[in-house]
Structure 1
Amino acid sequence: MTGVTQHSAPDARAAGDLDDHDGPDDLLDADPTAGELDDPDSAPRRAWRRRTAIEMVVSGVLGLYTSFVLSIEAWHLAANPQATFSCDLSSVVSCGTVARSWQAQLLGFPNAFLGIAFEVVVITISVAAIGGVRFPRWFMLGTQALYTVALLFAYWLFHQSYFDIGALCPWCLLITVTTTLVWAGLTRWNVRDGHLRLPGRAGPWARDFVAAGTDWYITVAWLVLLAAAVLLKYGPSLLPA
């Protein structure tokens, strides 16, 4: 009797284990990073995270510089509403026309001030990540939500310039590009580290997708499409008069 009891206990535990985890997909659902070939704290994985953070720092610094330039232009425009700028190249390419629109001060102050705040946040996080800091999931999701708002705002401004204002600001277009690149890098980071969790098989697929760098093709294709839309609408009007 004793031998039978001792033999049946492991069998019961094994059966319980099979019930809890029916296959690899269940393990992936329980732990979003468990199915990846490299450990989140492994050297290759840290190197990947560092490269992504460097990309975000470069884009963020460009965005920050652009936001400062736009802030200075807004200050000059407040002092002299008739001021002209070096990027007033034609009736279409005109920073002044865009800066004088109500959309340029949606919240009652120049939008560039928001750009400075957003870029400082993402640069700080990226620099910390380059140094090896890993942030908790709630923090990364909060940053994702914050920068998604920044992305939507940037594209709303582009939409307004493209369809309503009828003029384009080169600095604003650069902000749109850098915001897109930072958002893409942040999303790639959050998907790969399991902060953004897609249901079922979509989760492992998304992590493999960004781990292979395939999302870069989508990002580049989107920016090319954006440039093509500008060229198709304005064409020769983009050249200096």
Structure 2
Amino acid sequence: MATKNEHTAPGTSDGRGDHAATALDPDLSDDDLTDDELLAAEMAATSVRDRSLGDRRFGWVLVVFGLVGFAASLALSIEKVLKLEDPNHVASCSFNIFLDCSAAMGSWQGSLLGFPNPFIGVAAFPVVVTSGVVLLAGARLPAWYWRSLLGGTVAALGLVLFLVYTSVHELEKLCPYCMVVWFAVIPLFWYSFVYAVQGRMLGVSDKVRGFVVRNRFLLLLVLYLAVTAWVVLGMAPAIADHLRYS
């Protein structure tokens, strides 16, 4: 059975007997403090809990973004099957010369393991959703499970970055459903990393741990902005050429 430190950020409460006094000094009991000191300790403990990534918050991240990723992967899988049945089928996610799913589905990069990439998402995202439901139900899983989940999201992020490069620099077309998957994978990776760091499942210093946990939302925005800038700047030359010669 995993220990508390494997799941709970330093200074946060898991609801099983933590005292306000520990926010000031772990060697003190509540009886050693005045009323004012107890109130200050409780406020300090509440502040730490508010800044941490709790199980319920992380659970909702897994459920919501897992469902988003699953829906997009399922839509892509259906479009791939329809394309195989009818080569003339126009995908519902193909809107113009630059927003077109067909190019990505027809490329070798779209079937890296010998079958369509969306099938990976159809199989993997339900695991993410189930993990979130388990957290929301109040169950506690061992640290090795969360490290494994983090490893899976790292692999997913690596695949996403490879597909972003392929779409922007080789195909010069963007797949709308694929971009929804990208949108879902980034926070799944990031919050899995934050949860592992907060729970001391990864060997980082307390200073790094505190910075990552406190600024997790800001750092997520930075990740989104970095990928968005990559896509916009990478697609800009192709769009400019199309406008110039059209």
TM range (shorter): 0.7 to 0.9
Q: Name the SS for the 2:202 alignment partner.
A: coil
Q: Name the SS for the 1:119 alignment partner.
A: helix
CA apart distance, 1:207: 2.9
Q: Is the 8 A contact 1:90 1:237 kept in 2?
A: no
Indicate how the Cα distance of structure 1 residues 80 and 211 shifts in structure 2: closer, same or farther if over 3 A, else same.
same
1:37 is the counterpart of 2:11: yes
Q: Return the TM-score normalized by structure 2.
A: 0.75
Tell me the equivalent position of 2:97.
91
Tell me the equivalent position of 1:209.
211
**Pick from 65, 71, 74: which aligns with 1:65?**
71
Q: Name the SS for the 1:135 alignment partner.
A: coil
CA offsets 1:30-71 (integer angstroms, 9 cap, x no match): x77899222445697598221121022111110000010000
Structure 2: gaps (5+ residues): 19-45
Q: Number of matched residues?
A: 205
Counterpart CA distance in 2 for 1:126 and 1:179 is: 14
Counterpart CA distance in 2 for 1:159 and 1:41 is: 45
Tell me the equivalent position of 1:110.
116
Indicate how the Cα distance of structure 1 residues 189 and 32 shifts in structure 2: closer, same or farther if over 3 A, else same.
closer
Tell me the equivalent position of 2:147.
141
Counterpart CA distance in 1 for 2:82 and 2:135 is: 37
Counterpart CA distance in 2 for 1:181 and 1:173 is: 13
Tell me the equivalent position of 1:51.
57
Q: Is the 8 A contact 2:9 2:200 kept in 1?
A: no
Tell me the equivalent position of 1:194.
200
Structure 1: gaps (5+ residues): 1-30
1:106 maps to a residue whose letter is: L
CA apart distance, 1:175: 0.6
The worse-fitting range, judged by mean Cα deviation, of 227-236 and 184-193 is 227-236
Indicate how the Cα distance of structure 1 residues 33 and 136 shifts in structure 2: closer, same or farther if over 3 A, else same.
closer
The worse-fitting range, judged by mean Cα deviation, of 67-76 and 142-151 is 142-151
**Pick from 131, 138, 146: which aligns with 1:125?**
131
Q: Is the 8 A contact 2:154 2:189 kept in 1?
A: yes
Indicate how the Cα distance of structure 1 residues 34 and 81 shifts in structure 2: closer, same or farther if over 3 A, else same.
closer
Q: What is the alpha-carbon root mean square deviation over aligned residues?
A: 2.7
Q: Is the 8 A contact 1:59 1:179 kept in 2?
A: yes
CA apart distance, 1:124: 0.7
Tell me the equivalent position of 1:4.
none
Q: Is the 8 A contact 2:7 2:199 kept in 1?
A: yes
Indicate how the Cα distance of structure 1 residues 227 and 33 shifts in structure 2: closer, same or farther if over 3 A, else same.
closer
Q: Is the 8 A contact 1:63 1:174 kept in 2?
A: yes
CA offsets 1:140-187 (integer angstroms, 9 cap, x no match): 111211221111112111111111122110111111111011111111
Counterpart CA distance in 2 for 1:129 and 1:170 is: 31
Counterpart CA distance in 2 for 1:100 and 1:129 is: 38
Q: Name the SS for the 2:167 alignment partner.
A: helix
Please tell me whether Structure 1 or Structure 2 has the larger radius of gyration of its CA atoms. Answer: 1
Q: Is the 8 A contact 1:118 1:150 kept in 2?
A: no
Counterpart CA distance in 2 for 1:210 and 1:233 is: 29
Segments of 4+ moved more than 6 angstroms: 31-35
